[in-house]
Amino acid sequence: MKDNIFDTLREIPIKEFYPYISHIRFPFYKKLKQGLRIDFPYPITAIIGINGSSKSSILRAMYGSPGWNSIGLYWFESSMDKYYDNEKLKKSAFIYGYHNTEANIDVEYRKAMIKKEGDPDYWEPTRPSGDMEPMPKIQNEDELKGRNKTRWNTIDKNVVYLDFRHEAISAFDKYFYNGNESLKEKKKFIRNRSKYIRKAIDTNMRNYLWHSKNRLKNNKVLSEDIVNEISKIMNKKYSSIRVIEHSFYTKFMEKTIFVSSNGMEYSEAFAGSGEFAVISLVKSIMEAPEKSLIILDEPESSLHPAAQKNLMLFLAEQVKQNKHQVVFATHSPALIENLPAKAINVLYELDDGTIDIQSNVFPEKAFYHIGASFSKKTIIVEDELAKCLIQKMLKDYGEEEMVDIKVSPGGEAQIKKISIVNNAVFQDTKNVLYILDGDQKKEHRNPKDIPESENLEAVIKKQTGTDIVNSYPSNNDELKIKTQRKYLEFYYKYVKYLPMKTPENFIWDYCVPEEDKKGISDENIKTCFEKLSEKIFNKKSSNYILCTQELFLNKINFKNIREFDELHKEITEFLSSPTSHTSPSTLPQPPPH
């Protein structure tokens, strides 16, 4: 069984990524709520929000954190656009935290905008202020480790910043889709200038002096490793890819790609914009030094969903191999669906127009916030073994391609308290089915048979073993009852159960032969599999235990297991039922926290 790369990243101690930005906070910065803070407990972080929710502004602060990088390159004042500073408030600033290895202490570092003559957009480091810890007093110069007399040293970290709406745009696109010339004139111009680029390619030139000016900066064939990664993301075989930086189309150095694929050669003029974006991204990341800070603004631009998923796998592998820290802004469900909740942050607007953040958000809840939903019929289960079991069952019936099977990161508690509330109450979706372990099964009452006078909170508690009190305003009885009814209706239709206590019980009782059980006895079924894993693999880590369980699970055919007939029938009815989705604007809105 292949390890889930996103789970593997959870297990790597953050100290292995040092130097690493642990958090960033904003005492006063643009439209952000004063004091807004983002923590980075996972090496890949997603920032989600509707247009205008300051995602890019946060990414630029991240860019401006290490070394002497300045966000003044991206955020500057003009006659039409003034800073949001208020004379009664402190000037714009951000503060980030990191572990200072020289001093062996967690510290914070502050950068603030300082309007100075000749550079009104100048950002510079400052000494601690406000709620920051004061600098420890020193007795002599020998104590100046990782600091100077007034502040800690800045974090030393290479930065790769790619904005896919602007910077990952080819030389062809920047010329052809801008300017005042007619399309006919632009076409004639490109035909004329492209012959010089072709000459540079054919002769592998490093410099090209034309009209007394060197028009060539880089002319490089990408390595086989980089080409292979691009091929995997795009699901397309490239035999070679060349990247050329030149100023034949504009007065600035811009990028052109020249690729060979399936016997064809073409530049970005014939390639899709997604191809150019992926080539730029993969090249930049794979050529970056270890432990770089990778900042990506809407990397899903121009990519189809399958390529977006492949892109996330690529990013995760690069993080694992090279200990990069990745922070990206996105509108794409495909990019966040496999991330743990602690990696996902959702920006939302308050009544006063400022932007606040909700952190530690499960993917399906984030899907709601960005106005998206599950695009394919989906089954959600409690854990990885339940997923393997359902996958094997559907494979035996030839139905495995009809559905996505996902694991709830928080198990059954998260399913009942968060997932079902979001899908039943706030999205009104009909394309998600939950299959819980048999030990969770309680009486399912048809909501149509529950009288209006009955306490619905007590009914939910009895049926699920939990409550959803935090999912509706306590001071609105009408909305409270409506929410509870919708929850019970969804639970009645879209929550099913395994026909035995747990997947482990089923595999042990039905799949493991008696001869393999010899010498293994324990009341705890998990302990039985630990012993069996040790017997087979001489190891009993969680991965090997799951491998052991899959080994025996794959030996049976579910068509021969009558106990699963009813569950298979329920799944078949779900897969054949029509899908509908109600617009979020017509539904009650979830509380932001």
pLDDT grade for 251, boundaries at 50, 70 and 90: confident
Stretch (H or E) spanning 435: strand 432-436
Candidate from 49-63, 268-282, 569-583 with smallest mean pLDDT:
569-583
What burial letters (b/e) apply to 402-423, b meaning 16+ CB within 10 Å?
Answer: ebebbbbbbebebbbbbbbbbb
Question: How long a stretch of residues is the chain?
Answer: 593
Residue 371 in this model has a pLDDT that exceeds 60: no
pLDDT at 88: 43
CA separation, residue 427 to residues 98, 365, 433, 468 (Å)? 39, 10, 14, 16
Element (H, E) at 24: strand 21-28
- CA dist 374 and 365 (Å) reads 11
d(CA 210, CA 200): 12
Tens digits of residue pLDDT in 464-495: 888 776 666 666 778 888 888 888 999 999 99
Residue in 15, 183, 216 with CA at minimum distance from that of residue 99: 15
Measured distance CA(161)–CA(163) in Å, rounded = 7
Say which residue, 394 or 374, is predicted with more confidence. Answer: 394
Whole-Å CA distances, 344 to 58, 281, 337, 578, 590: 14, 21, 10, 31, 17
The secondary structure of 466-527 as a DSSP string is S--GGGS-TT-HHHHHHHHHHHHHHHHHHEEE-SSS-HHHHIIIIIS-HHHHTT---SSHHH
Residue 167: pLDDT band (50, 70, 90) is: low
Whole-angstrom distance, CA of residue 500 vs CA of residue 270: 56
pLDDT for 158 beyond 60: yes
Which pLDDT does position 181 carry in this prediction? 83
Average pLDDT, the chain: 85
Range 377-400 average pLDDT: 90
Q: Are 242 and 223 in contact (CB under 8 A)?
A: no
| CA–CA distances in Å: residue 276 to residues 167, 189, 216, 256, 537 | 11, 22, 19, 9, 46
- Domain boundaries defined on the chain: 5-158+291-359, 171-272, 374-593
pLDDT of 119:
66
Strand partners, 218: 245
Contact 31, 58 (CB under 8 A): no
36-50, 362-376, 504-518: the lowest-pLDDT one: 362-376
Q: Rounded to two decimals, what is the model's pTM? A: 0.65
pLDDT of residue 590: 45
For 454-478, the DSSP string reads S-HHHHHHHHHSS--GGGS-TT-HH
> What are the residues whose beta carbons fall under 8 Å from the beta carbon of 102, sequence distance 6 or more?
145, 146, 153
3-state helix, strand, coil in the chain (%, to 5): 40, 20, 40
Angle at 96 between CA 95 and CA 99, to 5 degrees: 140
pLDDT above 90: residue 427: no
Inter-axis angle of helices 224-234 and 273-286, to 10 degrees? 140
Q: Are 60 and 75 in contact (CB under 8 A)?
A: yes
Q: In terms of DSSP bridges, do strands 105-113 and 123-126 run parallel, antiparallel, or are they unpaired?
A: antiparallel
- Identify the CA nearest to 46 among candidates 346, 256, 278: 346
Architecture of domain 5-158+291-359: 3-Layer(aba) Sandwich (3.40)
Q: What is the token pair recorded at 446?
A: 């048809």
Cis peptide before 584 (omega within 30 of 0): no
**Lowest-pLDDT range of 331-335, 342-346, 424-428, 539-543:** 424-428
The 3 state secondary structure assigned to 74-118 is: CCCCCCCCCCCCCCCCCCCEEEEEEEECCCCEEEEEEEEECCECC
Average pLDDT over residues 126-152: 87
**Position 264 pLDDT exceeds 50:** yes
Residue tagged 């880590």 (tokens): 541
Q: What is the DSSP letter of 211?
A: T
pLDDT (tens digit per residue) in 198-249? 999 999 999 999 988 999 988 999 999 999 999 999 989 999 999 999 999 9
DSSP letter for 348, please.
Answer: E
CA torsion sign for 494, 499, 504, 506 is negative
Closest CA to 364 of 341, 343, 347, 387: 341
Q: C-alpha distances in angstroms, 570 versus 33, 434, 498, 574?
A: 47, 11, 11, 6
Q: Which of 42-51, 268-277, 382-391, 431-440 has the lowest mean pLDDT?
A: 268-277
Q: Which residues contact 449 (CB under 8 A, 6 or more apart)?
A: none
Cβ atoms of 257 and 275 closer than 8 Å: yes
Measure the CA–CA gap between 329 and 299, rounded to whole angstroms: 8
Coil/strand/helix, residue 173: helix
The 10 Å CB-count burial string (b at 16+, else e) for 513-525 is: eeeeeeebeeeeb
For the cut 60, the answer to whether the pLDDT of residue 572 exceeds it is yes
Residue 516 has pLDDT above 80, yes or no: yes
Q: What is the pLDDT of residue 370?
A: 58
Q: What is the mean pLDDT of residues 539-564?
A: 90
